[in-house]
Chains A and B, each alone.
Chain A
């Protein structure tokens, strides 16, 4: 019988606590620094070009084959303003295929690819799944606008 009264006390104490609910679409909980959304490319501000040299390491390592990379000679190397001989030409990632395994980030020799650690990486719903195939510019936008929080892969 006292347990009955005690349980009433428990519910009342719970009522006075702060709700744990976050009103999701309008309020976002801060995502962890190493949160894995989808891979994006990083921009090298020193040389004003992407870090990526188009070496295909990530493409070969990708278990779901969602990436397509092409390489070209770096015009800035010819000018002498950059040390990169080769630079990426086109880069496509199909986010509809990607399983966010982080292997591309692990294998990259130039730290040129990283996992999106902002909410924009999670809210990707589109009407047409073709819109989930990202090209070079889309992959670089976040890094160019400094919207991705800095994080160095180990």
Chain B
């Protein structure tokens, strides 16, 4: 029985399963509230960017809008096309949501507080978050709708493509940290956050998060103007809210906490783990992690409110011809620097090379933006036609 005892959530010894269950319950509750808050924040923020007010009627400054929406979605009729594949159609929302939920299991929200402390935390997160695409494919296939299927295939292409630079970028940080455990990676950033040492992976992470969550400018799978709603055209009510609201915003939350931990120093930077309030330092830690992840979330919302949708070939070229190359270069260069340098020289070399690669990436994007479309480059007939 000794093996089954854990140190428990509140310092009380309890069964590991009960302990994990209680922690999961806590995460479920916090996640639901966070998702509702994030929906409200996004509507307000995008509203202000478009010089609107956003929701104002429900509650003070529209704070209860998300609750009203949730109530509406939960009580709506759950429609299913008569030609749909029943099992796949009904299971797809869960298959999309469960991986996102499982990523939350390995994230330390404060020092040493996980559902489970995984030594391969980073690996686990990037591995498990890739499963979401199966849910999208299931939804698209089962809906028996050409728009849904097109959206599903597009999202499969996009998500699988952007998974790779994301993994490579995060791997580069793990290389520098010498660990795959998120808690350890965070604890190492007491003086310099990895954003300074590895700015390129941070940019890659931001881009990949935009693509993984199918947000503008990478919302090709959803594409309201061409595909109506992507894989979830046929969904309504509670299933739609599971797919869309929960998966999208919980994923945003999870990725932003991941970014806050491995790039912005989590609770560790700038004042150390137990800087304030002694025994209640976890409040400060929670606050710091929350603040940093909120900044990342706002950045993501800001970017997605600014840019129009990319074309699908631009999306693919950006991933495979630019992000992949610089991510690979980043790993190789970081490895070389780690082998041959030490101490302050190592930090400076890492920061300079990574920033140099960031500039290189900007240059490559600039170069590719000035090129004529592929059709014109490949076929002189097309070029002649577009000149007239």
Contacts and interface: CB of A to CB of B under 8 A. Distances in A.
Given A7-B306, A8-B303, A1 B362 contact: yes
A32 interface: no
B314 to A, nearest CB: 13
Interface of A: 1-2, 4, 7-8, 10-12, 14-15, 17-21, 23
A11 B47 CA distance: 11
A14 B49 contact: yes
A14 B362 CA distance: 25
B366 A1 contact: yes
Interface string B331-374: 00000000000000000000000000000001101100100000
Contact of B51 (A4, A10, A17): A17
B321 interface: no
A1 B363 contact: yes
Interface of B: 45, 47-53, 56, 302-303, 305-307, 362-363, 365-366, 369
A19 B47 contact: yes
The 5 A-B residue pairs whose C-beta atoms are closest, nearest first, are A1-B366, A11-B306, A21-B53, A15-B48, A15-B49
B360 to A, nearest CB: 11
A15 B45 contact: yes
Contact of A19 (B45, B51, B302): B51
Nearest to B307: A7
Contacts of B369: 1
B96 to A, nearest CB: 30
Contacts of A11: 49, 302, 305-306
Nearest to A1: B366
Contacts of B50: 14
A45 to B, nearest CB: 42
A20 B305 CA distance: 18
A19 B52 CA distance: 5
B223 to A, nearest CB: 21
A76 B56 CA distance: 55
A1 B366 CA distance: 5
Contacts of B306: 7-8, 10-11
A27 to B, nearest CB: 11
Nearest to B362: A1
16 contacts: A2-B366, A4-B307, A8-B302, A8-B306, A11-B49, A11-B302, A12-B302, A14-B49, A14-B50, A14-B51, A18-B51, A19-B51, A19-B53, A21-B51, A21-B52, A23-B56
